[in-house]
Each structure stands twice: as C-alpha cells, then as structure tokens.
Chains A and B, each alone.
Chain A
Amino acid sequence: MTVRALWLIPAALVFLVGPLAVPAYAANSVGCSGSASSFNDQGAPLDKVSVPGAGGTQSLPFRSMWNGDIAWQGQTDQTITSGTWRVSVQNASWLFALGELVSGHAHGLSGAFTNDQGQASWGNSFTPSTNEPVKLPGTYEVGFTVSGNGGAQCSGTLWVKVVDSPGRTPLWWLSLVLIVAALIMFFVFGVSKWTRPILT
C-alpha cells in the first residue's frame, strides 16, 4: 500500500504541474501580419498590439474592454476574396468549455465574409459585447483563423485580458452563491460531526 502511494506522488505531479507549463510565447501569426488597437467604453485608446510581435504574452496580454471597440488592420500573404473567420479560446479550462457548450459557442465565434474586389490588406472593428452579451472578464489565450476560399489561410494566437470590473456580473453572482452554499454545506455536514458528538 505504501509503495502504491509513493507512485501516486510523481503521477500527481505530472498531472498537476505538467499542464501549468504553458509556453510563454508572444503574439504570433502564420500567413498574415497586422495590429489591433483597443478602446475603452468612452472611446479612449487602451492598448495596441502587433501580430507577430513582442506583446500579447501571458504576462503582458493585450488589454480590452467588453463594451469597448477593437480596431484591427492586417495584410495577408495571398489575396483573399471571400472565406470564413473563427475566433476561439485556446486550451480552455473545463469550466470555460462547459460555459461554451451552454452558451452554444462550443467552437468559439465564427462567420463568413465576401470581398468582390479582392485585396491583401484588411481592416475593420468590432465590439465583443455585440457578439457575446455575457461579460467574461479574465485572461485568455485567443486563437484566430481566416480561411480564404482559394486556399489562402491566416492564423495566429495571442493573450488577451478583458479588464472590465468583474463585480456583479452573472459569473460573479454564480461564484458567490456557490461559495456560500459550499460553506453552509460544510458547516451542516462537516463541522456538526465534531461539535455534536454521537453517543455510542
């Protein structure tokens, strides 16, 4: 039994510590390059990142706000006339994956675009809250892919931090309710067995 228990220690270390070793790479891309700028909900500039570039790392993520605009511009190596785009969270934890399933975005956000003129330089802006009404503060590793119908492809990853205040968001209330419920259950089912001894 003791030997078996000793085997559990390295197994637990591999299971717990292994996934923590997330590579600390900067924003990267394949088949394209560009930059993105974020603005707060009053329209003031908040942050800027170049892809590929030194920013957009886990320790120095690209900061954005849920109700603020994100403007981007980029150049693809090949001309893209029409195709599809996809933005998704990489290496999502179990809870986030569950949330994606519940919200119906199991594979992230995606869409299609057409450009009859055909060009290699692009630019646009969007607001996260218009695509996903539930505010999700926190830090994410975001992956993006643009696939042209002619076979051209642009993909990349960067770390993004949604800097909105998490207080009184639906997730904040959910976590508060769960913590309070857990503490009550621990008191009722756990502490009571020490404070009220059973007669034998």
Chain B
Amino acid sequence: MKTKRTRHVVANAVAGLFLGIGMSLMLTIYGVVGWSTAWPNIILVLGIALGLGVGLLPVRTKRRSSASSASTAKTGSATLRP
C-alpha cells in the first residue's frame, strides 16, 4: 500500500501531459511539424505515455535492518577513529 502511494502515477502522467503539450507547441511554432498533421497529437500522447511509464516504474526499496546496520557500522567506525 505504501509502495503504491509513493509511485505518484497521476502526478507523473500530468507531468508527461505538460511535457507533451510543451514539446508539441515548441516543435509546431518552430515549423518542425505542421499544425495540420497528426504529429502534435502523437507527441502529446507520447508525453503522457512517458509520464505513465515513469510513474509505474517500481520504487527503489531498502531493507530497514540493513539500513540500520549500515548506520551502526558508520557510527562504529566513527568511534574507533583515534
């Protein structure tokens, strides 16, 4: 449950939508693609797909025990320092 919340699928999809609209507008006003072609729509859809892809990627996790032992080892090495 916690992992699902930390994926931020909706936020990343919105970010993808913004990126798609922004790139689509930028490429059309510079004349790279035409307003009367399907490219602006395709770039927009690709942006949303990218956002969904980033949002659905698994979250990197770390075991609490290994994390705490790592911090203990760090502290230990610090105390051993002369």
Size of A's binding interface in residues, CB under 8 A = 46
Chain B residues with CB under 8 Å of chain A are 2-3, 6-8, 11-12, 14-19, 21-26, 28-31, 33-42, 44-45, 47, 51, 54-55, 57, 59-64, 67
B37 in contact with A20 (CB, 8 Å): yes
Given A178-B21, A199-B64, does the pair A137, B54 have CB atoms closer than 8 Å? no
What are some 20 contacts across the A-B interface (CB < 8 A)? A20-B37, A20-B42, A58-B34, A93-B35, A93-B36, A93-B38, A93-B41, A95-B28, A171-B29, A175-B24, A175-B26, A179-B22, A181-B15, A186-B19, A189-B11, A193-B8, A197-B60, A198-B2, A198-B59, A199-B64
A8 in the interface (beta carbon within 8 A): no
Per the 8 Å Cβ criterion, residues 6-57 of A in contact with B are: 16, 19-20, 22
A137 in contact with B61 (CB, 8 Å): no
- Report whether over half of chain B's contact residues are helix, strand or loop; otherwise say mixed: helix
Per the 8 Å Cβ criterion, residues 147-196 of A in contact with B are: 159, 161, 163, 166, 169, 171-172, 174-179, 181-183, 185-186, 188-190, 193-194
A182 in contact with B36 (CB, 8 Å): no
B36 in contact with A94 (CB, 8 Å): no
List chain B residues, Cβ under 8 A from A198: 2-3, 6, 59-62
Given A171-B25, A182-B18, does the pair A96, B6 have CB atoms closer than 8 Å? no
Q: Report how far A4 CA is from B6 CA in the complex, Å.
A: 29
List chain B residues, Cβ under 8 A from A91: 36-37
> Pick the contact of A200 from B24, B30, B31, B61 — CB < 8 Å?
B61
